[in-house]
Structure 1
Amino acid sequence: MRETATTQAEPAEPRPLPVVEIVVPVYNEQRALPECIDRLHGYLTGRFPFPFRIVIADNASTDGTLAVACALAEAYRGVHVMHLDRKGRGLALKAAWGASTADIVAYMDVDLSTDLDALLPLVAPLASGHSELAIGSRPGLGSAVTRGRKREIISRCYNLLLRLFLRAGFSDAQCGFKAGRREVVHRLIEYVEDDKWFFDTELLLLAEKSGMRIHEVPVDWIDDPDSRVDVVRTAIDDLKGMARVGRRIVSGAFGVRMPEYVRQARLPREMPGQLLRFAAIGTLSTLAHLVLYVLGGLVLPALAANAVALAVTAVGNTAANRRFTFGRRDREGRFRSQAEGGLVLTLGRCAERTSTIGLGPGVMIPSLRHPMTAASAIATLAELAGPGRVSVAVGSGFTGRFTLGRKPVPWADVAAYVSVVRGLLRGETAEWEGARIRMLHPDGFGAPRLVDVPFLIGAAGPKGLAVAEGVGGGLFLAGGRPVAGFDQVVNLTFGTVLDDGEDVAAERVMAAAGHAVPVAFHFAVEHGLPLDGFPGAERWRAAYEDVPAGERHLALHDLHLAAVNERDRPFVTPELITAFGLALSPQGWRERLAALEESGITEIAYQPAGPDIPRELEAFAAVAA
């Protein structure tokens, strides 16, 4: 991440948002088309931040598709129809994209196999100028694909052939979910020969061989069982297309002149100097760490000497890079810069000052932390805390993904992540993102392997429970019911202990317990669940309707798990706090904890809130003793 110094400047004229045109090629789709356009138009109107147009490209249909398309164009604003007399998806896209005046052109299949939530990540790198083309990727990490074994095998073999024989760098040529900058696409389609299903592949190969940037977005994909595509016939045509393109590549006749802004792209002028300064500071920090570790070892145990050396050099490294690498000499944000990444040091301090409480991240999200970073942090914490005190909870990411505007990580990826981290902690060699990795530090330079800590899976549904049974040692629950068969079941608990005679309506109670009510509301909204349990649910939902779709997740999760934000505050009532069991007397908490233990909960992970955290911890510890 690059930081730049803040300067005073005249406000720039706001740039108009780019127009996005989405083409839906159709052939004899009179039944599927109405639902497709209704869903797509509803999504674009309610959740998509850019101006848009939808073009239905009727591909010489012989049924009533054209009449249905024209009716939809009359019914929905921004929907247009283009009719072609010849079949061919490539032909339809050439005609529609070639006639487009939008800034960004895209297409998707009429069955909407791809989750529409991937559309904004697809378009964003094009709108920012980062990439020339963007494609949905089904094999990529973070995608979730449901389709038949036959199609899966053919697709993977086809993409493998592209990589082996045509040196393709993209992972999914045929996903019906692509977009590009209009001026780039106009130039490319002039040179694409195929008018059928190989059009996508030829377009991507032509762009890649011409030096253009292709951005890949992991997508959730559910295959349409009613698809009319002849898979075998299409595969044969694709192989013929590969042979033709291969001959053009060998002859040197495959490529187009790149747009001017691509050809002139250079590293920012300050980047070479930043890289040199970054490397120099890193080298000096490493030497300083070694010196401090050796000197500290004269008076401290090795582990404590390493911790001190690490803390000092981490602070120094961050401050030096902030000042000299990125040119930041202002005071704003300097403490935040130091605090980022301090989880292990914070838990380490807790380990040094306590002897019985359990420690560990709850829950860790695979997409936010590389397995090697996670394994190193876990090993360090386990050595600091001592045996039996560290548990690692891993989840698919409610807070950690929705707050970033992304859907949770597929459970298959969670399982793979846990297996890799466990292997690293055992000292094994594992594979991640196509590379072999292993913890390489020798004894004395870090926590010795084997590091054996239990992994808890943050899940309540069937897929998560299956992962917990396969790779986890227990469950980390936030509202779900315990399941038999796990030795360790941790319950995430919110709330406050009422003082004698204290009213639930007191402001202290709202600050200490009210934040847990919106968490349940946020969860229901993000997952599309019924809101029957929330009084005034529709008015509550409407409180967020004025927020642009691309920023709604930021507003929805503002102060999430910490306090009640301004939009939620009118709906968080003492009655709801009571109904959720978040404010109880000491005796009420004792009965609640006894009931949890009876149900199979083995540990409580208590999360305090409010202005007086020590008070919350002491009061809860007293009733839990």
Structure 2
Amino acid sequence: MEQSSLVYGALVVLASVSASLYLALIFWSPPPIITHDSEKKYRSYKSPSAPRPLPSIHDPSTVDLTVVVPAFNEKERLPIMMEETVTHLDSLSPKRSYEILIVDDGSSDDTSKVALNLGAKYPKCDIRVVTLEKNVGKGGAVRHGMLYGGGERLLMVDADGASKFSDLEKLWKAMDEVAPNKKAGVAVGSRAHLVKSEAVVKRSVLRNILMYGLHTILRIVGVGHIRDTQCGFKLFSRSAAQQIFPAQHLPSWIFDVELLLLAKQLRIPAAEVPIDWHEVAGSKLNVVTASLQMLRDLLIVRANLLLGRWKATPVKPKSD
């Protein structure tokens, strides 16, 4: 009788702890990302005061490539990055049709104004500017650009210009291999080969310690197959974007991990491609605060995926 009471008591405690953890998961999970009506339209140098409607990721593609540039207070660095981007895309032969979608993530500076001016500087380019009503985080800005891009392939790239834009061709080639005939696929730009290089060795001891800690945690949560999850240079086929981004929940900087976990859940192949990269001054990331947020968000996304609270819906791949 006494043993039965102990077992019953243990079960009650276990149930209470499980319920508490589940409630904590619900409490800490981010709310759905809301898209306002004004954010479903874009401005350009041709139409700076009369916004035009954006396409949906579920519509047929209209160009070969959409370049999604999340930008928060990037009026200084954006012009430099855009010059490299446009120069490369316009140099290609044969030509590739493209659009550039700059998503101003609720900046407090003149990022949107600068972006519109860039449209005037490069009038032959389709440069579209979306201004979010408030800052939602890099993940939210990337998600928005991906959900409203018209490209058959969609590239996310940071506004700081840290990645060498011409390395897009390496990602493009990898995509041809993992996702031929418009199938679902992801090509991930990677800096893993630079770990022992001068670019990384010269980083602060704290940043490198946190980097190695992140890699360890990522192996635990299930993305150990990708050595560098955080590089802001990733290419998605339209089919992959249609499945992954509607299911994305994290707006914070660790959103890349959720994207890769969703791709893995959906059995979408992901190729990791070494690219050139260099440190750029002006980072807005507080490494200590971001690392604590990272740990919390990684646990949240993994728990939600395991419990089935968050899941992606596969779509039938298209072929020529």
Q: TM-score, normalised by structure 2?
A: 0.71
- Match of residue 53, structure 1, among 76, 99, 104: 99
Check whether the contact 1:118–1:217 (CA below 8 A) recurs between aligned residues: no
Check whether the contact 1:22–1:106 (CA below 8 A) recurs between aligned residues: yes
Amino acid of the residue matched to residue 115 of structure 1?
Answer: K
Question: What is residue 132 of structure 1 aligned with on the other side?
Answer: 185
Aligned 1:184-223 pairs, distance under 5 A: 184-223=240-279
For 1:204 and 1:144, how far apart are their aligned partners in 2? Answer: 26
For 2:126 and 2:282, how far apart are their aligned partners in 1? Answer: 28
Question: What is residue 92 of structure 1 aligned with on the other side?
Answer: 141
For 2:194 and 2:110, how far apart are their aligned partners in 1? Answer: 40
Aligned 1:5-404 pairs, distance under 5 A: 19-47=64-92, 49-76=95-122, 77-87=125-135, 88-127=137-176, 129-130=179-180, 132-140=185-193, 146-147=199-200, 148-149=203-204, 150-261=206-317
Q: Provide the aligned C-alpha RMSD in A.
A: 2.6
Q: Secondary structure at the match of 2:75?
A: coil
For 1:120 and 1:105, how far apart are their aligned partners in 2? Answer: 13
Check whether the contact 1:26–1:58 (CA below 8 A) recurs between aligned residues: yes
Check whether the contact 1:159–1:171 (CA below 8 A) recurs between aligned residues: yes
Query: Cα gap change, 1:186/1:223 in structure 2, threshold over 3 Å: closer, same or farther?
Result: same
Greater RCO, CA 8 A, separation 6+: 2
Query: Cα gap change, 1:170/1:70 in structure 2, threshold over 3 Å: closer, same or farther?
Result: same
Larger Rg belongs to: 1
Q: Secondary structure at the match of 2:273?
A: strand
Structure 2 spans left out of the alignment, 5+ residues? 1-60
Query: Cα gap change, 1:165/1:195 in structure 2, threshold over 3 Å: closer, same or farther?
Result: closer
Check whether the contact 2:66–2:100 (CA below 8 A) recurs between aligned residues: yes
Q: Secondary structure at the match of 1:222?
A: coil
Q: 1:142 Cα shift?
A: 10
For 1:98 and 1:17, how far apart are their aligned partners in 2? Answer: 14
CA deviation map 1:195-216 (0-9, x unaligned): 1212211111111122110111
Check whether the contact 1:143–1:218 (CA below 8 A) recurs between aligned residues: no
Between the aligned residues of both structures, percent identity stands at 25
Query: Cα gap change, 1:81/1:45 in structure 2, threshold over 3 Å: closer, same or farther?
Result: same
Amino acid of the residue matched to residue 205 of structure 1?
Answer: L
Check whether the contact 1:211–1:258 (CA below 8 A) recurs between aligned residues: no
Amino acid of the residue matched to residue 97 of structure 2?
Answer: P
Matched residue count: 248
For 1:257 and 1:27, how far apart are their aligned partners in 2? Answer: 30
Query: Cα gap change, 1:224/1:41 in structure 2, threshold over 3 Å: closer, same or farther?
Result: same
Structure 1 spans left out of the alignment, 5+ residues? 1-15, 265-625
Q: 1:30 Cα shift?
A: 1.1
CA deviation map 1:123-144 (0-9, x unaligned): 2333552461111111148996
Q: TM-score, normalised by structure 1?
A: 0.37
Q: Secondary structure at the match of 2:84?
A: helix
Q: 1:257 Cα shift?
A: 3.5
Query: Cα gap change, 1:91/1:22 in structure 2, threshold over 3 Å: closer, same or farther?
Result: same
For 1:168 and 1:192, how far apart are their aligned partners in 2? Answer: 20
Check whether the contact 2:101–2:149 (CA below 8 A) recurs between aligned residues: no
